[in-house]
Amino acid sequence: MITRPDRYRWVVLAAGALGQGANASYFLGLPVLIPQLRDHFALSLPQAGLLVGAVNLGTMLTLVLWGASADRFGERPVMAIGLLAAALCLAGAAAADDVLFAALALLGAGAFGASANAASGRAVMIWFPAGQRGIAMGVRQCATPAGAALSALVLPLAAHAGGVPLAFLVLAAISVIAAIAVVIWVREPEGAVRAPKDSGAGEVLRSPRLWRLSLASACLVIPQFTTAALLVELFHEHRGVSLAVASTLLAVAQLLGAGGRLFNGAWSDRVRSRLGPLRTVSVLIAASLALVALLDWGNVAVPVLAVVAVAATALSLSWNGLAFTAAGEMAPEGRSGTALGFQNTANYLAAAIAPGIAGWLAAEVSWPVAFAVGGGAAVLSLVLLRKL
């Protein structure tokens, strides 16, 4: 085993990224199953969006708790316990015949899977110096769209072969594998500072700068989950493209989004700023979503719309590492996990409601309006970031 700290940190990063990717395989990858979920549980598009959003609601409820636990006990026990419990919940979703039971199981999967989110972020903060933290967090963050891209390719095949239950069992198996990797490879560096027993999270949670950053991040989650939740339905149901092609478009967008997270992380290291690049990306997201709305309103050819929509989705997926790193760097020593958990709580609150609202807008108002609202949220984020 590699033992040199300057090399071993990449091993820890890889294991943490695997845990984050396993979590993303269902919290961000489930929208690809919306057509099958609608058939399996007899749901409308808005109802299917709410079912998918249950994962994000569960995550939102526990992120600060997991972050504070990682600050107190370290990343390895927090991630391992959470990922194994999430696998059990996903297995429960596979056994569900009732949509309410399935929603509760997905709520639990999100609540336990949140452990990988805050804890793997804390590992980056304590293992990597500031000059490499952006690219390291970019690697960790690109596991999110990579996990979702894997789901976009694998889950429809699993659902075709064995129905929705088999797709959920595949997700459970991924979480078990990630938990094993965490147990084997994740540890803390020598001299890592943990939060003391008598230290509360109040100092972190009262920070006005962290609140503003978290609100700006929540606004950027709206276009992220609007595009991720609607891309397959936009081309399959609205434009008549085959489900296989529509799913492939989502997978391509997820992979491009992963590359964007790496690029943005390296960019932020080079310019020694997280917020400057984040503002620029917010502008690009707003412009690209506005263009998607205009092209669909104008009923342009599917290939043209596909290029722009995939680019908009990739941009909407690319910003997270910048905001996540900024939140960790705002935290007092030993409290990065709590700060990361708090920042992501705002993200997941938006993620829990965005798919349902976007689905309702697309079904009851119009597809262009759904994408235009996503672009407007990015504009609001830019306003908040300019004040930060």
State residue 196's pLDDT score: 65
The token pair that represents 105 in the structure block: 């199981």
- pLDDT band at residue 15 using 50, 70 and 90 as cut-offs: very high
Q: What is the mean pLDDT of residues 31-59?
A: 87
pLDDT digits (tens, 9 = 90+) for 362-371: 989 999 999 9
Residues 115 and 89: their CA atoms lie apart, in Å, by: 14
Query: What's the whole-number mean pLDDT along residues 234-257?
Result: 87
Looking at residue 113, its pLDDT comes to 94
Secondary structure of 31-97 in HEC code, one letter for each residue: HHHHHHHHHHHCCCHHHHHHHHHHHHHHHHHHHHHHHHHHHHHCHHHHHHHHHHHHHHHHHHHHCCC
Residue 386, amino acid = R
Residue 189 pLDDT class (50, 70, 90 cuts): confident
Q: Does residue 199 have a pLDDT over 80?
A: no
Give tens-digit pLDDT for 319-377: 999 999 999 898 877 788 889 999 989 887 887 788 889 989 998 999 999 999 999 99
pLDDT value of position 204: 80
Model confidence pLDDT, tens digit, residues 268-284: 999 999 999 999 999 99
Q: What pLDDT is stored for residue 162 in this prediction? A: 92
pLDDT of 297 > 50? The answer is: yes
Alpha carbons 52 and 33: distance in angstroms, whole number: 9
The DSSP secondary structure of 17-35, one letter per residue, reads HHHHHHHHHHHTTGGGGHH
Percent of the chain exceeding pLDDT 70 equals: 97
Helix, strand or coil for residue 283? helix
Higher pLDDT, 176 or 248: 176
- Note the pTM of the prediction, 2 decimals: 0.81
> Which DSSP string corresponds to 329-383?
HHSPTT-HHHHHHHHHHHHHHHHHHHHHHHHHIIIII-HHHHHHHHHHHHHHHHH
Task: Give the lowest-confidence range in 54-58, 71-75, 178-182, 198-202.
Answer: 198-202
pLDDT for res 1 = 38
The per-residue pLDDT of the chain, averaged, comes to: 89
Which pLDDT does position 6 carry in this prediction?
Answer: 73
Close Cβ partners of 234 (under 8 Å, ≥ 6 residues apart): 246, 296, 309, 362, 367
What does the pLDDT read at residue 197? Answer: 65
Asked if pLDDT for residue 3 goes beyond 60, the answer is no
* Confidence band of 383 (pLDDT split at 50, 70, 90): very high
pLDDT number for residue 2 = 41
When pLDDT is averaged across residues 28-55 and rounded to a whole number, the result is 87
Q: Which amino acid is at 231?
A: L
Q: What is the pLDDT of residues 166-183, one digit of tens each?
A: 999 999 999 999 999 999
Q: Report which DSSP code applies to 318.
A: S
